[in-house]
Every structure is written in structure tokens, then in C-alpha cells.
Amino acid sequence: MKYLIVSFLALTVACTASLEKYSLVEGLKDPMEVAIARDGQLYVVEREGRVLRINPQTGGIFELGNLHVQCVNASDPKSKYGREDGLLGIALDPNFSHNQRIFLYYSTRESSANRLSRFTLKAGRIDFSSEVKLLEIPTERENFASHQAGSVEFGPNELLYLSTGDNTNPFASDGHAPIDNRDDRTNWDAQRSAGNTNDLRGKILRIRPTESGYEIPAGNLFKPGTAKTRPEIFVMGCRNPFRLSLNPRTSTLYWGEVGPDARKDTAKGPMGYDEVNQAKSAGNYGWPFVIANNKPFPIRDFSDNSIGAITKLTAPQNLGQRNTGLKTLPPAHSAFIWYPYSDSKEFPNMGKGGRNAMAGPICYHKPNRRYNIIDQNGDTALLTYDWMRGKIFKANLDGDERLKDLEVLKEGLTHPIDLEMDRDGSLILLEYGSGWYLNTNGSISRLIPSGENKPPSIAIKPLAEARKFCVEKVTDPENKQVTVQWYATSGVSEQKLGSGTTISLPPGKFTDVRAVATDDMGAKAFARIDLKGLNKKGNLALAIIKPQKAYGFGETVSFKISSSTPADPTKTRIRARYIPATGHDSDGVELPAAIDQIARANQCLACHQVETSSVGPSYLDVSIKYRSRKNTVGYLKKKLKSGGAGVWGEVPMPPQAALNDADADKIISAIIGLSKGISEKTGTLQGKIQLSSDVSSEPGGAWELTAESDGYSPAIIRIPAR
Ligand code: HEC
């Protein structure tokens, strides 16, 4: 029996874990796209407008500029307006190392448009006065007219490719084709955008940037000067072509296409499919008339829901009243890979469930490269991935880039949103974070084939003395010798501080301190401490006076809080919390899953965290404040309805109008219940705190005591419970 289990596990691992993931940086906010410079530096854009440079050698994060873009943000987390707008894409000029030029695609605030611009970096930051506007694509932002795509890439031919979405409301067409021709349904009609040869939306555009703008290269879909067409179009008929990629040897274009929602074939059309597409030359890929392997949608009349003729694949007709382009479109191309919500008949390894297809790099075997995803010289593969499924797939191709077979290469990723190949053959992976918006857990990691030397791991912590840090733990999986080098960030540069197990920050202003552990094969791991808001005054220490072996429920503990510079007692507090023996709650208090869902659905978590204050107070603080008061639920319900400021600070909470009464009751009682088992004492550095007696868990756990004071890093200790 034992053997069976072991070999089963080994089999699972062999199938799925053929890439290992190692973190480079964490804590990014909705990162969208990454570009790798020749010198290995990573340039990343975040949805809300930050442009970052990441140094993968040191884990450094440098903010190069913050664009003022239209987007959903914390002050308007429920905006129904331009929900997929923001800073969407980045590419580096092919001569970036000489000219420091970057291309950004972003949603403008001063007009309703998405813009492709070139900026030049000056002393490592974006010089906003250097902006050269290349393309401005008018976009509609009302009625959930979504799908902006926004991938920007240079091909090996130094041509710039930009993907744009159909800018159409995905609802109210039963998950089939949004071809609503009624007068007042502009935002529900993709015939005006993706199916329109005279509109830049729902396309992949291809241009050659010049000093002052761009030129049209030969070989785009329509010859310049053709009436009712735009010469920038390389591919038309796209819905939301999210990430694109170019074969470095052949310039063949690949992209992922996010498809519509229908779960079944009906009289109104085929079910929805996501697609991975391949274009060796310019073409029409069908949307909103054709999907998947050329499955046509019938022409539907939304005024009476009658179903008309089937689209002709060789010459699809766009009869939409808002079509300003050609009526007869170029022939429709089949997708390269297509898959629905349910199991795919054609591509069973794609799995099932939510979908959001993306195209990643094309890999060749190169014997002199450090890492090779491909084992054999001569083989080729396209890596594709899916944002929803959290997986990377490897599509093995033959010499003519035809699909041979398809396998899962990696699972368990948190919304992978970009995947690029570094020059050593490793992959740079961008993960967007767990939610749709307002994430703070976006990350960048490096993926290398399993079986290679693994990097070490390292943790660091501040010492009691101000501005001093030490290595808490450093290990190497292969027990290799590891050296530790320290860095600190100041503006857009970093300073090397020295090596060893402890470090003192030199005088000056720094935003973080980092330790880089390197093993003797050059593999690296990073640890960082953010200095913003941390530790200006030093660290607190917490001591128990005359400690007992263990403490029971309701007993008191004598404590003393100290620090190198004395803390202000009125700004100091100590909390004691019971942690059951099962360790189940050891990560801290949390909302029950069902309540967490309500909080997420209502975007409460954009401003509130359970244990830490952010825009609003932490829910634990709210609980401790109100748990012994009368009519708390009534008061808080009213406050949620009407919003307001003044209890926790000057920032107001907006009225939570969309929260219904039943959910309000549930979430408020859950919030109040959070502090069960937690006691608190404020305003003193020395004294007694009574341990809670309102927990019914079995004894045998521990009490966790946390001392906090404004401007200090907290002290946390655990003592046995009885
Ligand atoms: C846009 C930011 C924002 C959002 C979204 C938000 N809050 Fe708040 N919330 C705040 C701020 C700021 C305060 C502090 C108000 C004050 O000082 O009176 C607050 C206070 C509270 C309080 C304490 C009220 C008091 O008077 O002490 C509760 C409870 C609360 N929020 C729950 C929620 C819930 C539940 C949601 C989601 C339905 C939510 N909040 C959404 C910002 C927000």
C-alpha cells in the first residue's frame, strides 16, 4: 500500500512539475506586462499607472514614473466605467540600450481613448515631456463596453505589434455574438469594432515606429489607400486578444483570444471558446461572425430574436448599421487551438473551467544556452497559458509550426498574465494577483526546468537597534556554500552595503533593505524589508514578568514593553490572543469563507484588511472597539448605508449602497465576532493583561502576545496555554 501511494505521488510530480518557480519580487499591484532588456533588467507596468524596473540580480524594485491613467482604483473600486482601462502594455525599443525609449499603451483621462506613446528615460526615470503619441484609439467606456487587450511587442523584424479589444459589452447576447443592430445598442455591437475594417478596435495592429511617429510596413491586411480600411491592421476579427508573441526565427504571430461565455451550442450560435491563434501572414480571424475552428454564428436579429443566414466563411458579410468599413470581409481563419468551458474534445489536456487564453514564447533548443525547455535540438514549442486556469501549456510544433501535441507544463499559478523568455533560456513569469482588481500580491518569478540547481532561500529581520538588520535563516537545498550581499534602495538606484550576516544602514534615506543570497553556482534568492513607515524609532521588546509554565483562560499575565528610544504609552497597546493546539488559526484571525465572499463581492477589501489598517480600520480593531457596546449592529448598518468619516480618521467611507440588508447583517456580526478570544490593554508600557475566557476551544494551545506602538516595529511572543 505504501508503495502504491509513493509511486502515485511520484507520477503526479513527474507529469506536472517540469518547471520550478523561484520568486524574484512580490507585492506588485495588478502587474500587466513585462519587457526584458538586453542587460536582463525587467520593465513592468501596473494597471494603475506605475512603471517599474526590476533588477533580477538583486531583487531591487525602482519606480520610473507613474502615469495618470483612467482605471478602476481604490477610491472608485466599483466603477462601471472603463473597467478594463488602465496602463495596459509595455515594449522596449529594439535599440533601448542606446536610446532608452519605451512604448506604453494606456487609457487617457482627458479623452475617452487608448493611446500608444513613446517615452524616453532620463537618468533612469520617465521623462514625461518626451512623449511622442503614435496612435490614439477612441474607445467607449459606458455600459460595460469592455475588452481593451493592450499587449505591445516588437517582432524580430523590428515591427511593433499592438493588440486591441472589441470594446463591446459581453452581456445581453446569451454568451454568443454581440451583433446587436438596434439603434440604442452601440456598446453591444462588435460589428462596429472587431468586424469593421475601418476601425482599430478588435485588431492586432502592426507598424514601424519612426523618429516622429510610424510607417506602415508592407504585408498588412489592407494596402494603404484602400477605401474604408485602416492600413495599420495586421489581424482583424479579435474579441480580447490579450497576450501576443512572435516567433523569433519566422516572425509568425501567436496570440491568446478570450472568447464569449455560452456554455452550450444553441440556435443562436456555437458555445464560447477561447483560442490560441497563429498568423503567418495578415488575416481575418472571424469575431464576431466566426469562432474556434471556423464555427460561424448565424446572423441574429436582436429586435425579435429571429435567426437569419449563416455567415459565409470565405467572404463573411458585415451588415451592421454601425459598420463604417467594407461589407465583404477577408476569409475567416480557423483558430490554432480552441477550448470551451467544458472538456475539450480536440485538446483534452487543456482541462476545463474558467478560461482566459494567452500566448507565451516560442522555444527552440539551443545547446549553448544555460536552460532549455526543449530537450532535443530541432524541436520547437509554443508556450501558452491561461489566466483563469493558472496553467502553462506546451504546444509542440513541427518544422512548419504545425501542432503536434499539447501538454501541461506547470499548474497552480495565480493569474499568470505575462510570460517571456530570458536570454539564458529561463522564463520570466508575471502573476497578476488573486483578485480582479486592487491586488497587492502580484509577483514576478523565474521558471527553470526541474532537476537544475536550486537557489538558496533566505529570511531577514530587523534588530532591536535602529537601522540594523540580520539574516534570520539561510539554507540551500543542495547544501552549497551561500554568500549574502546586502543592498538598499534610494530613488531609482541601489547601494551595495556589504556582505555578511548583519548590516547597518549608512546615513541617508532608503526605501528598502535587501539581502541577496547566492550559491556557488550563481543561483540567487532575495529577502526584503520595506522601510517606508517601518522602524523609524526602533523595535519594541516584550517581556513577561515572573513567567509561569503555562497560563489558563481568564488568568492575568504581567508584562513589560521596552524599546531603545522610549515609546509613548498613550500610543502603545498590547493584545493577547488564544491559538488552539490544532494550529488551525495560527495565521491570525480571518473571516469565514462565506463572509469573505460577501466582502470581496462588495469590494470591502479594497479599503479594509482583517488585521491591518489600510484606507479604513482593520476589522479586528472595529471588533474590539464595538464588541461590548449596545446596538452595535444597528449603528454599523446605518454607517455602512450612509458612509461617513471621523471615527477612525478623516478619510470617509463611501455609502455601501449595493450591500443588501441580509449581507450587511452577516458581515457585521462576522466582523464583531473576529475578536473572540482576544484581549487588549492600551495606554501603558507595564502592567497586567487578562487573558480571554470566552474561547471554548480545548486547552493545550498557546497565547500570542503582541505589543504595538506608533512608529515602532511590533514585538510578538508566544507562551503556553493550560
Ligand atoms: C473606499 C474605501 C472603503 C470601502 C470600499 C469600504 N470601507 Fe468601510 N471604512 C472606510 C473608512 C475610511 C472607514 C473609517 C470611517 C470613519 O473614520 O468614520 C470605514 C469604516 C468602516 C467600519 C467602522 C465604522 C465606524 O463607524 O466605526 C466598518 C464596520 C466598515 N467600514 C465596514 C465596511 C464594509 C463591510 C464594507 C463593504 C461593504 C466597507 N466597509 C467598504 C473605507 C471603506
Write the pLDDT tens digit of every residue in 252-307.
999 999 999 999 999 999 999 999 999 999 999 999 999 999 999 999 999 999 99
Q: How far is the C-alpha of 151 from the C-alpha of 358, rounded, in Å?
A: 10
Tell me how far CA of residue 343 lies from CA of 16, 29, 258, 295, in angstroms. 19, 33, 17, 18
CB atoms within 10 A of CB 596: 16
Task: Take atom 35 of ligand 1 and give the residue whose Cα is closest.
Answer: 604
435 CA from centroid of ligand 1 (Å):
20
What dihedral angle (degrees, nearest 10) is formed by the CA atoms of 498, 502, 506, 510? Answer: 90
Whether 13 shows a pLDDT value over 80: the answer reads no
**Which residues form ligand 1's pocket by a CB distance below 6 Å?**
77, 602-604, 606-608, 615-617, 622, 636, 639-640, 644-649, 651, 653-654, 656, 659, 667, 671
Q: How far is the C-alpha of 240 from the C-alpha of 168, rounded, in Å?
A: 10
Q: How far is the C-alpha of 42 from the C-alpha of 240, rounded, in Å?
A: 25
CB atoms within 10 A of CB 223: 11
Q: What is the mean pLDDT of residues 52-69?
A: 96
Task: Take atom 23 of ligand 1 and give the residue whose Cα is closest.
Answer: 622
Question: How far does the chain reach from its first CA to its final CA, in angstroms?
Answer: 39
How large a percentage of the chain has pLDDT more than 70?
95
Tell me the pLDDT tens digit for each residue of 424-442: 999 999 999 888 888 888 9
589 CA from centroid of ligand 1 (Å):
18
706 CA from centroid of ligand 1 (Å):
24
707 CA from centroid of ligand 1 (Å):
25
616 CA from centroid of ligand 1 (Å):
5
Confidence grade of residue 701 (pLDDT, cut at 50, 70, 90)? confident
CB atoms within 10 A of CB 380: 21
Which of 642, 653, 660 most suits a substitution to test ligand 1, by most atoms within 8 Å of the C-beta? Answer: 653
Q: How far is the C-alpha of 101 from the C-alpha of 107, rounded, in Å?
A: 20
- Cα Rg, the chain, nearest whole Å: 28
122 CA from centroid of ligand 1 (Å):
41
How large a percentage of the chain has pLDDT more than 90?
74
Tell me the pLDDT tens digit for each residue of 539-591: 788 999 999 988 989 999 999 999 888 889 998 999 998 877 654 444 567 88
Q: How far is the C-alpha of 465 from the C-alpha of 452, rounded, in Å?
A: 40
Which of 608, 622, 671 most suits a substitution to test ligand 1, by most atoms within 8 Å of the C-beta? Answer: 608
For ligand 1, what atom is nearest to the CA of residue 604?
A: 37
Is the separation of the CB atoms in 355 and 342 below 8 Å? no
Whether 12 shows a pLDDT value over 80: the answer reads no
645 CA from centroid of ligand 1 (Å):
9
- The three cell numbers of residue 234 are 495586421
Residue 253: CB partners within 8 Å, gap ≥ 6? Answer: 155, 161, 204, 234, 235, 244, 245, 246, 247, 278, 279, 280
- State residue 404's pLDDT score: 96
Q: How far is the C-alpha of 697 from the C-alpha of 376, rounded, in Å?
A: 58
Of residues 718 and 278, more confidently modeled: 278
Whether 115 shows a pLDDT value over 70: the answer reads yes
Task: Take atom 33 of ligand 1 and give the residue whose Cα is closest.
Answer: 604
Single out the residue of 334, 226, 239 nearest to residue 277, CA to CA. 334
439 CA from centroid of ligand 1 (Å):
18
The amino acid sitting at 345 is K
Whether 5 shows a pLDDT value over 70: the answer reads no
Task: Take atom 36 of ligand 1 and give the residue whose Cα is closest.
Answer: 604
Is the separation of the CB atoms in 42 and 428 below 8 Å? yes
Q: How far is the C-alpha of 505 from the C-alpha of 469, rounded, in Å?
A: 8
Average pLDDT of the residues of the chain: 91
Single out the residue of 144, 142, 139 nearest to residue 171, CA to CA. 144
Which of 79, 598, 605, 607 most suits a substitution to test ligand 1, by most atoms within 8 Å of the C-beta? Answer: 607
For ligand 1, what atom is nearest to the CA of residue 651?
A: 12
Task: Take atom 26 of ligand 1 and give the residue whose Cα is closest.
Answer: 647
Is the separation of the CB atoms in 318 and 196 below 8 Å? yes
- State residue 14's pLDDT score: 35
Residue 414: CB partners within 8 Å, gap ≥ 6? Answer: 390, 431, 432, 433, 434, 441, 443
- State residue 128's pLDDT score: 95
Task: Take atom 41 of ligand 1 and give the residue whose Cα is closest.
Answer: 604
Q: How far is the C-alpha of 270 from the C-alpha of 262, rounded, in Å?
A: 8
Tell me the pLDDT tens digit for each residue of 577-635: 887 765 444 456 788 888 988 988 888 877 788 887 767 899 999 999 999 899 999 99
Confidence grade of residue 6 (pLDDT, cut at 50, 70, 90)? very low
Q: What is the mean pLDDT of residues 189-202?
A: 98
Residue 177: CB partners within 8 Å, gap ≥ 6? Answer: 190, 260, 269, 287, 288, 289, 291, 297, 300
639 CA from centroid of ligand 1 (Å):
8
443 CA from centroid of ligand 1 (Å):
28
